[in-house]
């Protein structure tokens, strides 16, 4: 079972912790030291305008920010299509990248935006040992979908878990047919 950038963790309906129930996490980076990801379907969202007004920045658009995880909860991260870049952009796959810098807001404000993007506060993270236990333990908390579709990644928050489970089921059963 290889965890790689671009994979999805799907909360196991039978064993996930209460705070993880229904979550789908997009893996943005996986190394021998840690795995990092973004919760794609957190029910908690904030208004970007409200967040930026605390820094005296006037944001005229209705933009929502999801909770990406508990690590670095004040860090703003943008998951976006990879034709766009900012001063701190890291490719995740051939299709998607992440950016995290102040310049990205300046670009967005003047209309220089990616074809698709979603904003998050914070990130999720595990050590290799933690994630190994969460995936392979007696009661695994997460299910792994190695190659999720772009449709799944870009879908609306409230449908992601159902679509992820359907894609995982199709993936699992295709190896038996």
Q: Please tell me the predicted confidence (pLDDT) of residue 53.
A: 75
* Three-state DSSP string of the chain: CCCCCCCEEEECCCCCCHHHCCCEEEEEEECCCCEEEEECCCCCEEEHHHHHHCCCCCCCCCCEEEECCCEEEEEEEEEEECCCCCCCEEECCCCEEEECCCHHHHHHHCCCCCCCEEEEEEEEEECHHHHHHHHHCCCCCEEEECCCCHHHHHCCHHHHHHHHHHHHHHHHHHCCC
Query: Could you tell me the pTM of the whole model?
Result: 0.90
| pLDDT reported for residue 88 | 94
Q: Which domains does the chain have, with CATH numbers?
A: 8-174 (3.40.1740.10)
Q: What is the pLDDT along the chain (177 residues), one digit of tens a residue?
A: 578 999 999 999 888 888 888 899 999 999 999 999 999 998 788 887 787 777 777 777 788 899 999 999 989 999 999 999 999 999 999 999 999 988 888 888 888 999 999 999 999 999 988 999 999 988 999 999 999 999 999 988 788 998 999 999 887 776 665
């Amino acid at each position: 079972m290889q965890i790689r950038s671009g994979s999805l963790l799907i909360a196991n309906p039978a064993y996930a912790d209460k705070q993880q129930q229904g979550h789908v996490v997009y893996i943005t980076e996986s190394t021998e030291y840690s795995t990092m990801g973004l919760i794609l379907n957190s029910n908690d969202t904030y208004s970007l305008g409200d967040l930026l007004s605390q820094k005296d920045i006037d944001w005229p658009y209705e933009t929502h920010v999801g909770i990406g995880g508990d690590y670095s909860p004040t860090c703003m991260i943008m998951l976006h299509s990879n034709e766009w870049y900012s001063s701190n952009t890291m490719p995740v796959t051939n299709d998607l990248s992440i950016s995290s810098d102040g310049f990205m807001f300046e670009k967005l404000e003047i209309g220089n935006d990616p074809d698709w993007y979603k904003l998050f506060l914070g990130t999720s993270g595990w050590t290799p040992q933690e994630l190994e236990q969460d995936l392979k333990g007696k009661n695994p908390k997460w299910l792994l979908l190695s190659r999720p579709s772009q449709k799944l990644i870009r879908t609306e928050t409230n449908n992601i878990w159902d679509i992820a489970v359907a894609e995982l089921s199709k993936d699992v059963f295709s190896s038996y047919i």
